Amino acid sequence: MAEAMATQAPALALDALGTAATPAYNSGDPFYRAELQRIDALIAPQPDEDGSDRLWVAAVSDPFAAREQALERLARSVDALRDGSLSALVLLGAAAMVLDATDQAVRLYGRAMDHLRRTATAGTNATLAQALALALFDSGAWTAAQSAAEDAFWMATEAGADNVTVGARLLQATLRAAQGDHAAAHARASGAVRGLGLRKSRSLYVRYRRARGTAFLAEGDHQSAYEQLRQAFTRDFHPEPVHYHVSLYCLSDLAAAAVRAGQAADARVVLHAAERAMGASRSARLDAVVHRASALLGDPEEAEAHFRVATDPVTARWPFEHALAHLNFGEWLRRRRRSVEARPVLGTALEIFERLDARPWVERTAAELRAAGVAVVPAAAPEAVSGLTPQELQIARLAAEGLTNRDIGARLYLSPRTIGFHLHKIFPKLGVTGRAQLRNALGDLPRPD
């Protein structure tokens, strides 16, 4: 349709092309990406276009080409954005996600969600809620990510948006895995895809493999983790990413599993092929992924330099990956009898894992710290709040700070009514009757994400 309108109705053609870019990304099929580029070239620049459609099309077509220029275009488009431009908010948020401008994606999706709460249909809300959940997960706001994923799942189920239903379940499975509920993670991931052929949506296929791989890593079953993550790449003589973009984020966990499963040689071939596919123009996040994998799989003499890049403070924007890199680096240092140097590195990992409630990695990091000569005292909530879920604790803390239900809902992407429902359950658990008593009931607990 976009091609047919390219000459006579270029504005409509551009809108149609931006819409088509989303299924093209999810499919991962190179034919569709090439078609996007071809048709985009047929549409003449329009004097009033906001740039969101073209930027999204460019990001989908090739997330690595002219990446710095794409980020500059993103910044200009956001600055010029009209408050009521819902489509632009969604497309720019999607482009920001693909370009690994994750914080920007969270902000844009959050603004779009505020708009949709007032005007949109359930199906559209479900699609955006899932996108927001993914961005929140990557940025380390796991409680909010869980809430957004739950919203996406139920809205998509009601609307019959099957791909969103699957995607939301896969994110829930990944969260369960990362926080130590292995059985639920496997069950949720397997249930999400049961009876479905995911090869038409390579992004969902890879996300399924990553969810299962994360669960096996959390269990310490590195062979099974490797088998799952390896399926994010082809078995060819020159392996290729199954999904040209999503697969790449599996590389460092693939390497970590490979080392412990005796599969380093095979993983090394995958890594080198993926590096060639990316080229030099990659995000700081993917750079850290590649360097962590290289440190684990490459020349031991070069490992430290790779770890230094992988643990650079710039990558703290992606906390879970940042903490995993610190854990691997700390393990590497300790095994080389450099325990004094390992302690602060492992300490950083432990702090992040505890904040995320990534329990399997908390336990593993604490064991490494003890082996490095550090006495680790397990973090424990005071008795008064031990019965609260992580989400309830976050809501209680925000309410104790004086935020209204509407303010709390805006931060957590929940409705004021939902916040009120949670507070109604929180008060008796803490033995209080109102918001004014929350501060004393919570004591000196650290502020949650």
- Report the domain count for the chain: 3
Among 86, 120, 154, identify where a domain stops: 120
Question: Which among 356, 359, 361, 439 has a CA at the least distance from the CA of 400?
Answer: 439
Q: Residue 358 — left, alpha, or beta (φ > 0 → left; ψ -120 to 50 → alpha)?
A: beta
The residue type at 275? E
Q: Please classify residue 360 by burial: count the beta carbons closer than 10 Å to its beta carbon, then call 0-12 exposed, 13-18 middle and 19+ buried.
A: buried
* 353 CA to centre of own chain: 15
- Helix 52-61 to helix 10-27 angle (10° resolution) is 30
| pLDDT value for 380 | 43
Residue 361 pLDDT exceeds 90: yes
**Which carries the bigger pLDDT value, residue 37 or residue 382?**
37
Measured CA to CA, the distance from residue 337 to residue 19 in angstroms comes to 55
Are both 367 and 400 inside the same structural domain? Answer: no
pLDDT tens digits along 306-342: 999 999 999 999 999 999 999 999 999 999 999 999 9
| pLDDT value for 122 | 52
Residue 63 pLDDT exceeds 80: yes
Tell me if 273 is assigned to some domain. Answer: no
| pLDDT value for 267 | 97
Are both 12 and 49 inside the same structural domain? Answer: yes
Are both 301 and 391 inside the same structural domain? Answer: no
φ, ψ of residue 389 to 5 degrees: the values are: -75, 165
Are both 416 and 305 inside the same structural domain? Answer: no
Q: Residue 204 in contact with residue 26, Cβ under 8 Å?
A: yes
Please identify which residue in the block is written with the tokens 């459609």. 53
- Give me the CATH number covering residue 50: 1.25.40
Instruction: Classify residue 45 by its DSSP letter.
Output: P
Res. 7 pLDDT band, cuts 50 70 90 = low
Neighbours of 301 (CB within 10 A): 7
Q: Which residues contact 336 (CB under 8 A, 6 or more apart)?
A: none
Q: Which residues contact 220 (CB under 8 A, 6 or more apart)?
A: 360
Q: Residue 142 in contact with residue 106, Cβ under 8 Å?
A: no
Tell me if 194 is assigned to some domain. Answer: no
Among 85, 104, 120, identify where a domain stops: 120
Tell me if 258 is assigned to some domain. Answer: no
- Give me the CATH number covering residue 388: 1.10.10.10
Tell me if 242 is assigned to some domain. Answer: no
Instruction: Classify residue 402 by its DSSP letter.
Output: T
Tell me if 415 is assigned to some domain. Answer: yes
Q: Which residues contact 439 (CB under 8 A, 6 or more apart)?
A: 400
Question: Which among 97, 118, 100 has a CA at the least distance from the CA of 108?
Answer: 97
| pLDDT value for 381 | 46
| pLDDT value for 9 | 63
pLDDT tens digits along 390-431: 788 888 888 887 788 888 877 777 788 888 888 888 888 777
| pLDDT value for 16 | 86
pLDDT tens digits along 80-123: 887 668 888 999 999 999 999 999 999 999 989 888 777 655 55
Measured CA to CA, the distance from residue 96 to residue 109 in angstroms comes to 10
Tell me if 225 is assigned to some domain. Answer: no
Tell me if 199 is assigned to some domain. Answer: no
Dihedral of the CA atoms 339, 347, 257, 336 (nearest 10)? -10
Q: Mapping DSSP to helix (H, G, I), strand (E, B) and coil, where does residue 233 land? A: strand
* 422 CA to centre of own chain: 26
Domain hosting 366: range is 287-379
Among 379, 394, 409, identify where a domain stops: 379
**Which carries the bigger pLDDT value, residue 443 or residue 356?**
356
